[in-house]
Structure 1
Amino acid sequence: MTTGFSIPSRAIIPFLALAFGLAWGLFVVLLTIPDTVAEVFGPMSASNPLFILAVYSPALAAFIVLVLYGGVTAIRPFAKRLLLWRISPIWLAFVVLGIPAVHVVGAAIKGGPLVAPLPEGGMSGLLGVLAFMLLLGPVEELGWRGIALPILQRHMAPLWAGIVLGLIWGIWHLPAFLASGTPQSGWSFMPFLGGAVAVSVILVPLFNATRGSLLWAALFHFQLNNPLSPDGQPWDMAVFALVAVIVVVLNRETMLKRGHGVTQVT
């Protein structure tokens, strides 16, 4: 694949510093003065403004890095990656049906309900929750797959880039496990970290097959957080790990060699 170096590899350092610094800094505030935060911004939840800002930190870091190294004009070619919509039928089926199926299998192993409870408010409430989740976690992908993955694939094979990014991505979530009221507060961190690595590896060949599409990376992320899917933690993470092994085996010719991944940022 062609390589674009208008955004240099060293840009990953300020990107990670900003993504971690902003998110972790906000969580320090949330953990040290929770009562004050609750009085000003409301109780801790996924809809708390400070939590949303923390979730958006990789995207904010991405745009800062783009302007820092490429100027404002770098934003437009970067944003065009949101318009890359072509995808193979197999990957389309996995995003639409495969990811929810993993959650269902995980929930079945866990012994819990196979269908998530519907939100209050009927259909309007459901649409509102879906819209909110579509604009929450998927925005992270502007940073993780927008900046970090292309740079990592310049220097290592796609498999290793996926593993490294999965570890970074998982560790970035750590403060959310320490704050009560967050979606992650009831989960165990280590299974989540392993699942983050597995999901990151699965996403790599999809990302490369769609020429670095941010659209499909975001939709993949949305399906991971789809409120219609049941809670299969931690067993769905184990299923994702199994899927990751299968994906690597099926794509071993491109996953294990450098030069087979998308390296363009803009």
Structure 2
Amino acid sequence: MNTRVVTTTSTTPERGITTTPARRAPRLAGVVGLYFAVTTVSAGLIGSVQPLLRVDPVIIELVQFGPTLGVLAVLLVWRGRWRPPSAVRPIPSPGVLTRLVAVAAVCAGLLGAVIGAYALLGEDVRYTRPGALTHSFWLIAAAQFLGACGEEFGWRGFLQPYLRTRYGVLTTGTTVGLLWGVWHVQVFAAGPAYAAAFLLSTIAMSVIMAVLLERARGGHLIIAGTFHAVVNLGLLLLMPEEDGDVTAMTVFAAACVLAALVVLGWAGARGRVRR
């Protein structure tokens, strides 16, 4: 792959991201292309194995670990020559709790907006009691968090901080969200309207996470994984969006956009986001 010589320092636009001086940094397109290709192919292979393992996708979808394999592929290809910026630290910083409170507030507002939108449309929320699920809710919650971290290790633990060294928060969040959405190739089988709404939701959620993680001093994986898992659990209990329901996905996408605008406005008013 083509490479170019660059001069780097140990500081990046976002605190909490660890970098190492690069001798010959690869081109951005090469790194992102390899990561996305391995993430997509490995997720497809893992997904084909899940039925053989008889793992119920309600508990966890093994394809969620595809992004982790994508990161490992990048590290392996450029091993000893270049190391990408990392936002994953083994020990979270004290500021993680504050970010998690913000995650809880955003998730509550987002899911509340979904319920409100359903009420305005005259539709009934298809609420499923946790006790009525096919497996223990706490088992599902723990597995959902594990799976969410498997995804976020790649998207928010690697790709977001890597792009953030070159672009602003909004551009980074939008780009990661678009790739994240396209990676869910199965949504395109549900039709253009459903796929468009889904992509809009992933872009909006990615922007939200980009803002929440901006200037965070570690704990990115826990913060992003918690947001991802809580949203997934909320959808599991409230909506049939994974059944190809265009109305449900459109309502969810609109709620995500509204939440993203609120978060951007809040952060911008406090000077916490540098576009």
- How does the TM-score come out when normalised to structure 2? 0.69
How many Å separate the matches in 2 of 1:43 and 1:87? Answer: 39
Match of 2:74 among 65, 72, 76: 65
Match of 1:223 among 215, 219, 230: 230
* Distance in 1 separating the partners of 2:118 and 2:88: 36
1:80-229 superposed matches below 5 A: 80=89, 83-84=92-93, 85-88=96-99, 91-95=102-106, 97-109=108-120, 111-114=122-125, 116-118=127-129, 125-173=136-184, 175-177=185-187, 188-212=194-218, 213-226=220-233, 227-229=236-238
Please give the per-residue CA displacement for 1:206-253, whole angstroms capped at 9, x wherever unaligned.
111533521011001112211334344221211211221222222233
Between the aligned partners of 1:7 and 1:229, the Cα distance in structure 2 is 47
Q: What's the counterpart of residue 37 of structure 2?
A: 20
CA distance in 2, matches of 1:87, 1:28: 38
Give the equivalent residue in structure 1 for 2:255: 239
Which residue of the partner structure matches residue 264 of structure 1? none
Q: CA deviation at 1:162?
A: 0.8
Counterparts of 1:219 and 1:205, CA distance in 2: 15
Q: How many residue pairs are counted as aligned between the two chains?
A: 241
List runs of 5+ in structure 1 lacking aligned partners: 31-36, 258-266
Q: How far has the Cα of 1:127 moved from its partner?
A: 2.2
TM-score (norm 1): 0.71
Q: CA deviation at 1:161?
A: 0.8
> 1 CA distance for matches of 2:21 and 2:118?
42
Deviates more, 1:7-16 or 1:228-237: 7-16
| RMSD of aligned alpha carbons | 4.0
Contact 2:208 2:260 in 1 (8 A): yes
SS of alignment partner, residue 116 of structure 1: coil
Do 2:43 and 2:65's aligned partners in 1 also have CA atoms closer than 8 Å?
Answer: no
User: Gapped runs of 5+ residues in structure 2?
Assistant: 1-9, 13-17, 241-247
Letter in 1 for 2:116: V
